[in-house]
Structure 1
Amino acid sequence: MSMRLSTVILPYRRWQEGGRASWERAEELGFSTAYTYDHLSWRTFRDGPWFGAVPTLTAAATATSRIRLGTLVSSPNFRHPVTLAKELISLDDISGGRITLGIGAGGTGFDATALGQDPWTPRERADRLAEFVPLLDRLLTQDSVSYTGDHYSAHEARNIPGCVQRPRLPFAVAATGPRGMKLAARHGQAWVTTGDPAIFETGTPEDSVAAIRRQTERLADACAAIGRDVTELGKVLLTGFTPDRNAPLESVDAFVDFAGRHAELGFDELVIHMPIPDSEFDVDEKTFERIATEAPAQLS
């Protein structure tokens, strides 16, 4: 099984001061997809520059021609299915059908309270995602949608002419819990994980592989419950959040070893962060580029 290699470009640079160049470079390096976070701000970047995901991806779509583009991930924390659907259809059109929507329940970070609400509990986030994803699916595949739910409504929401990609652009559903796994099984073209956050600080790389293996088993169970073959679902690991942290990016050999362990678990896409100086994603740029250009041939 071949392994695709993708990257995440955080939207912290002005477009004319390195922002555009990052996306162009990602395409030159041959990455399968270039994603960006869909946040209003994020952790240690909160007090610095940070730009919106949809305008950034729109600009990236016009600056590139081959690489796929996407969010990793959007969430209900500050998104609504009706408005997001319109933006996604527009993005898919502008990019010529190169958009993937990474979507998840969101967390308790800055996005969760930026609109003035109290942060939702994990159950409340799961409730919203369980309604958000099926409604978004309908909005992206039907010309007109009316719906009234517990958390979201749509009244004759029009989305003509629909996506360039048919029947709609792909969903990559980030999930580790049972309800999210069910959404990935039913609506996803791919499933996304960052590993098990409970062992990020104290676990070992071996602990992480075991935890991710258990996640893939739960995903297989969720697929089996609805009669879907789990091998139909892409499996995406966003790296940098396992106990290894950035160690796999220290050399091509280290990365190939890391990738091989996860390929054995069924993963077909690994996502690495484009280097950012003086941050948790501060890795050697030359090594990063060597991984991008040399590792894929060793993973096919």
Structure 2
Amino acid sequence: MRLSTVILPIYRWHEQGREVWQRAEELGFHAAYTYDHLSWRTFRDGPWFGAVPTLTAAAAVTERIRLGTLVTSPNFRHPVTLAKDLMSIDDISGGRLVLGIGAGGTGFDATALGQEPWTPRERADRFAEFVALLDRLLTQGAVSERGRYYAAEEVRNIPGCVQQPRLPFAVAATGPRGLRLAARYGQAWVTTGDPALFESGTPAESRAAVRGQIERLGEACAAAGRDPGELDKILLTGFTPDRNTPLESVGAFVDFAGRHAELGITEIVLHTPIPDSDFATDPEVFERIATEGLAQLKG
């Protein structure tokens, strides 16, 4: 089991941002991720910085912790420009970048560029084409391709990623098509649980849903000729019925993590505390979980 954190891109870099990312490394987190949105929910009218420059800055002031997005989507990204950014951050970080990637959804990100919201089918179609082209762009020296939604014309990404054959993809998916993409292209798979259970479900129902997702991921891997054990299974917390439970105490975290490890989850991601928000947890408890939680779980 690995323990990681999400740091929302809300901090002015020279006032607090640098220290927050460096503290995540000091606490021993496996990875520190950030959201790749133009704005997000209740944070819409407050400070919100770009994921790419934030991760670039974080790469320059840390040494060991892995860095990444949870998650990037096609809503306002294009594979050609994104691939260049990812290759560059992977280089700056010395090979510590992970791309969390998902199909995206509705809301501000989906319409910010002036487009009409995509239907679920179009979103899935775009996601499949996006991931496949991004894989090519990050593994081949020159790429030309013209798909239904995305094109690349004699695109070079030289010298390529530090991590070979490319930086890892952590594919967020729960539906059949997304799970097939994770099985084919992913080095990890990401879930937030079952959104239908967020308001009225129980922790037991949530764990059963995650178990079912992992089983379907295994079936997708078998169909793709892959061992499902090759993929890390990442749970981004904060979106299950017991969303606040793992941050109540070290003991509560150990119980939560242990129950999900039994399902096959290999990495748990906690949000770094933000006062006066949905993530307003006790910073002292958060740091104790980071330094003591996994040790107790293994003990």
TM-score (norm 2): 0.99
Secondary structure of the structure 2 residue equivalent to 1:207: helix
Deviation of the 1:82 alpha carbon: 0.3
Equivalence map 1:131-146=2 (5 Å): 131-146=129-144
User: 2:172 & 2:296 partners in 1: Cα distance?
Assistant: 27
Report the counterpart of residue 267 of structure 1 in structure 2: 265
**Aligned residues: percent identity?**
78
Question: Structure 1 stretch 174-183 or stretch 120-129: which is displaced more?
Answer: 120-129
Report the counterpart of residue 186 of structure 2 in structure 1: 188
2:131 is the alignment partner of 1:125: no
Equivalence map 1:18-57=2 (5 Å): 18-57=16-55
Equivalence map 1:201-240=2 (5 Å): 201-240=199-238
TM-align CA RMSD: 0.6
Total equivalences in the alignment: 298
CA deviation map 1:154-206 (0-9, x unaligned): 00000000000000000000000000000000000000000000110000000
User: 1:19 & 1:110 partners in 2: Cα distance?
Assistant: 24
CA deviation map 1:69-105 (0-9, x unaligned): 0000000000000000000000000000000000000
User: 1:220 & 1:57 partners in 2: Cα distance?
Assistant: 32
Counterpart among 165, 174, 177 of residue 176 in structure 1: 174
Report the counterpart of residue 158 of structure 1 in structure 2: 156
Deviation of the 1:299 alpha carbon: 2.9
Counterpart among 222, 247, 250 of residue 249 in structure 1: 247
Deviation of the 1:109 alpha carbon: 2.0
2:297 is the alignment partner of 1:299: yes
Deviation of the 1:122 alpha carbon: 1.3
Deviation of the 1:121 alpha carbon: 1.4
Secondary structure of the structure 2 residue equivalent to 1:38: coil
User: 2:140 & 2:101 partners in 1: Cα distance?
Assistant: 20
Deviation of the 1:245 alpha carbon: 1.4
User: 1:22 & 1:193 partners in 2: Cα distance?
Assistant: 25
Deviation of the 1:297 alpha carbon: 1.1
User: 2:277 & 2:138 partners in 1: Cα distance?
Assistant: 37
Q: Which 4+ stretches in 1 moved above 3 angstroms? A: none
Report the counterpart of residue 89 of structure 1 in structure 2: 87
Amino acid at match of 2:72: S
CA deviation map 1:230-265 (0-9, x unaligned): 111100000000000112100000000000111011
Secondary structure of the structure 2 residue equivalent to 1:201: coil
User: 1:100 & 1:109 partners in 2: Cα distance?
Assistant: 25
User: 1:226 & 1:127 partners in 2: Cα distance?
Assistant: 19
Deviation of the 1:281 alpha carbon: 0.3
Secondary structure of the structure 2 residue equivalent to 1:157: strand
TM-score (norm 1): 0.99
Unaligned runs of 5+ in 2: none
User: 2:185 & 2:239 partners in 1: Cα distance?
Assistant: 25
Deviation of the 1:124 alpha carbon: 1.1
Report the counterpart of residue 12 of structure 2 in structure 1: 14
Unaligned runs of 5+ in 1: none
User: 2:119 & 2:175 partners in 1: Cα distance?
Assistant: 14
Counterpart among 92, 99, 104 of residue 101 in structure 1: 99
Equivalence map 1:105-116=2 (5 Å): 105-116=103-114
Amino acid at match of 1:154: A
User: 2:27 & 2:8 partners in 1: Cα distance?
Assistant: 17
User: 1:121 & 1:246 partners in 2: Cα distance?
Assistant: 32
Deviation of the 1:298 alpha carbon: 2.2
Report the counterpart of residue 64 of structure 1 in structure 2: 62
